[in-house]
A = this chain, B = another copy of it.
Amino acid sequence: MARVAPLSGFPEWSPAERVVENAVLDTIAEVFTLHGFANIQTRAVEPVARLGGDSDASKEIYVLSRLRAGEDRGEPSLGLHFDLTVPFARYVEERQATLAFPFRRFQMQKVWRGERPQEGRFREFYQADIDVVARDVLPAQAEADVAIVMARALDALRERVGVPRAVMRINNRRLVEGFYRGVGITDVAAALRAVDKLGKIGPDGVRAELAGIGVGERAADAVVRLASIQSEGAEFFDRALELWGEVDAQGEEALTLFEEGLRHVARLVEAVNTAVPGTARADLSIARGLDYYTGAVYETELVGHEDLGSVCSGGRYDSLVGGGGFPGVGMSIGVSRLVSRLVTQGIATASRGVPSAVLVAVVDEQTRPVSDAVADALRARGIPCEVSPTAAKFGKQIQFADRRGIPFVWFPGEGGDQVKDIRSGEQVDAHAASWEPPVADRRPTVLLGRGEPD
């Protein structure tokens, strides 16, 4: 047995599981690319001062220090980033003179949070983010664009790697702010943080939290009722307006904000459902824990896997970059959370963990160069292969290929070469300059709905 133990919260995949993860990352990247999002990466660290704030994530920062201390004089204290939004905002701020706005970027990197590990919650995990950031004015359709691209990415993941169907829940901070003000709540941010816990602590828990920050019973009741409104179609709209009357909400400005937000949610849901039918719904309970959102907010669950929590979240922000002047909107896919579910439940498995489609057998060490030449001829046509490490008996070499999951073994021969499909046992004459494996065997592929958890 291994004398080393995995670290809880820091997932690592087997070579075959990594094939699934790579398929997820490639699928997402291709959808982002087709929609004109440029790829960047940011450094893993930020000054701790910049990572601060009062979100849950910022409390779980990993701070760096050097083993050989005393040489860090004058350098800022650094921490590992806990998301890709904060570093991206800093990147835009730093490069505002050279970037062309609106700047559309995607970013797929690992992030770190020192929270208690549990199923689907990791300390190190991949995120895949898109954001659109504009100078001064964010184009009206950016909030829909970002949601549509994410809906398409999730749909492509459903087709290619078997990610279960996604439901994107959409709300709007203005709607919520208008309503909260209408029922007399002044600390809207604090009330939102309470509502954000609805799934964990239930309506009574939220009422208690609201009471704790001085919200009266009637207002708290109104808040909980608002959070219960959701619909696939436009029904939420009338129900929300009715609720405004029922709870006797007040104020012209508050109502304007509320109605504006409702219309905005309705338009967004319709736009997303036009692009990817059946994906979006209005859900007025969506709060998001982060203070910086100012417009649309999104969360996404997988049908039948609601226990995973949201796998794709985000929202619109106005003051994240440089303190203002660069409004933006972004969403983030929790890639590791998805991959973990796919591989631990056997939803997606790789056809093999090794890239080689062919093991070229070695007759004896003197003719190894002949086998090397076969391998190079196959590689020149994009067929991954490897040459047997030993000139053992062919039976042993076939066993070796089998154990590694390599589907074909190639036998160089003086009278001509042959290749054997070791799954069927079929062996045929072949030329290294022209032989083709079946398309599905060229590279490892992702199989859906097969296999059991490792």
Contacts and interface: CB of A to CB of B under 8 A. Distances in A.
> How many chain copies?
2
Interface string A51-88: 00000000111111111100000001011100000000
Interface stretch (A98-106, A161-169, A197-205, A217-225): A98-106
Q: Say whether chain A's binding surface is mostly helix, strand, loop, or mixed.
A: loop
Interface residues of A, number: 84
B18 A39 contact: yes
A12 B42 contact: yes
A384 B36 CA distance: 6
Contacts of A5: 94
A384 B33 contact: yes
Contacts of A368: 141
Contacts of A13: 40-41
B15 A105 contact: yes
Nearest to A139: B389
A12 B43 contact: yes
A403 interface: yes
Contacts of A14: 40, 95, 98
Interface string A355-368: 11000000000001
A439 interface: no
By CB atoms of chain B within 10 A, which of A10, A98, A355, A386 has the most? A355
Contacts of A1: 97
Given A35-B379, A66-B63, A91-B12, A43 B404 contact: no
Given A7-B45, A18-B41, A34-B384, 8 more contacts: A12-B40, A12-B43, A19-B39, A21-B41, A34-B382, A100-B403, A100-B404, A104-B386
7 contacts: A3-B93, A14-B95, A35-B379, A63-B66, A63-B67, A65-B65, A141-B368
